[in-house]
Structure 1
Amino acid sequence: MVRPMQERAVQTRKLILRAAAESFDESGYHGAQITGILGRAGLTQGAMYFHFKSKEDLARTVMLEQAADLRLPERPAGLKQLVEITLTLAVEMQRNVLFRAGVRLAVDLEGPAVRDSSIYRWWTDRFNDELVEAHRKGELLPHVNGAELAEMLVGAYTGIQLMSQITSGRKDLPRRITSIWRYLLPGIATPEALAGITLADGAEARP
């Protein structure tokens, strides 16, 4: 009996997270209501509060688990892989509601709810892993500080996706991310590394 109950609890939690992600994605943190989330999930308040203490707790969990459905490379491979990851994320922003909601919540929320989630740090570290490998392989120019570059990329990505959301509902996000790399790569990558990178629109990242 214990195992079916555990499985049911796992499925209930997934239902709540999915419904919450849809609500936060559509209405933001302040516009989403617990009653609406429960209505989407077809569950009671008791079911929700068994898994989550509050709306803020639910939002924090969506932020933390935004990458749960993403298939990212397990091992860092360097600059080319970093470019590919960011372009993959641009596509995921268009179709993955959990990822999209997590990103929106990180923009909507302020204070401890965001600081405690450390989601910006998580992505910064993930990008930096690729840059550490790129440095080891000699793909970066001598002046490049990988940790600073990773922070800049996360910040730029946050701003660009927000601009894309406002102007086109994120339809042009892959193109905007490609443009970032077209201008950025010549200033950070060695000529040999540049020669091995082709951007999403087929253009080579040449200086």
Structure 2
Amino acid sequence: MTVQQRALRTRRRVLEAAAAVFDHHGFASASIADILRAANVTKGALYFHFPSKEALARGVMEEQKRALVLTNTGLHTQTVIDITQGVARLLRADPVLRASFRLTVEQGAMGPEDPSLYLWWLGVCRTHLVQAGKAGELDGAADPDALAHLVVGSLTGVQLLSQVLSRRADIGERLATWWRTVLPGMVADRVLPRLSPQGSDDLLAAVRGNGRGKEVGVR
């Protein structure tokens, strides 16, 4: 194994250990000592990759981009549904992703809040909703930008509520219920029967083949 490969493996081990600690304790209560014990690395090795607890937390937060699973069912609106349901499935399975979402909500404890991850998710959803509008999938009065904010805000709230009430055991069905509620006022009548609020078959296949949530492109 090369020096670079060992460094990458150490960085990943530190990141995963930190995520487990952040997921369990939250940012404020997590300690570097706890993370060092969980990762089984020296303090020097940890600080070589992450100069502070804040930097480590932001490294974990960036991991949520790995939760982006894109599908190509022929309907751009279904792609947006699948993005949210893909996140839901991976949140249940991936502690790094769970910590990433928790830290994004708690980031005020680290100092000035950074909206970049929310803006990234907004951009992803807006891109596909604009395409949905151009394809005639959306109701004529629907605004892709406003819908993107609605989707991202609702996903944030649904996953938080599901975490508190069921440790996210019901997150997929909660999202499906939300989609069933909003879709009739969002899409054209001819499109509604073709949509799957619980996620498409393509999504199930993509998540199974996606392991721990590596980003995959449109197929």
Is TM (by shorter chain) over 0.5?
yes
- Report the AA paired with residue 127 of structure 1: C
Distance (whole Å) between structure 2 residues aligned to residue 157 and residue 114 of structure 1: 23
Aligned match of 2:118: 120
Contact 1:87 1:200 in 2 (8 A): yes
Aligned match of 1:187: 185
Contact 1:94 1:170 in 2 (8 A): yes
Aligned match of 1:94: 92
Equivalent pairs, count: 199
Contact 2:78 2:195 in 1 (8 A): yes
Contact 1:77 1:130 in 2 (8 A): no
Structure 1 position 160, deviation (Å): 1.1
CA 1:157–1:64 in structure 2 vs 1: closer, same or farther (change >3 Å)? Answer: same
Distance (whole Å) between structure 2 residues aligned to residue 95 and residue 159 of structure 1: 19
Structure 1 position 186, deviation (Å): 0.4
CA 1:130–1:120 in structure 2 vs 1: closer, same or farther (change >3 Å)? Answer: same
Aligned match of 2:39: 41
Query: Does residue 1:73 correspond to 2:61, yes or no?
Result: no
- Report the AA paired with residue 52 of structure 1: F
Matched residue SS, 2:69:
coil
Cα deviation code 1:167-203 (max 9, x no counterpart): 111111111101110110001100121121123299x
Structure 1 position 99, deviation (Å): 1.3
Contact 1:106 1:114 in 2 (8 A): no
Cα deviation code 1:111-170 (max 9, x no counterpart): 775743611111111111110111111100111111111112111111111111111111
Distance (whole Å) between structure 1 residues aligned to residue 152 and residue 110 of structure 2: 19
Structure with more relative contact order (C-alpha pairs < 8 Å, separation 6 or more)? 2
Distance (whole Å) between structure 2 residues aligned to residue 106 and residue 198 of structure 1: 28
Gapped regions of structure 1 (runs ≥ 5): 203-207
Gapped regions of structure 2 (runs ≥ 5): 201-219
Matched residue SS, 2:142:
coil
Distance (whole Å) between structure 1 residues aligned to residue 53 and residue 159 of structure 2: 25
RMSD: 2.2
Distance (whole Å) between structure 2 residues aligned to residue 117 and residue 191 of structure 1: 35
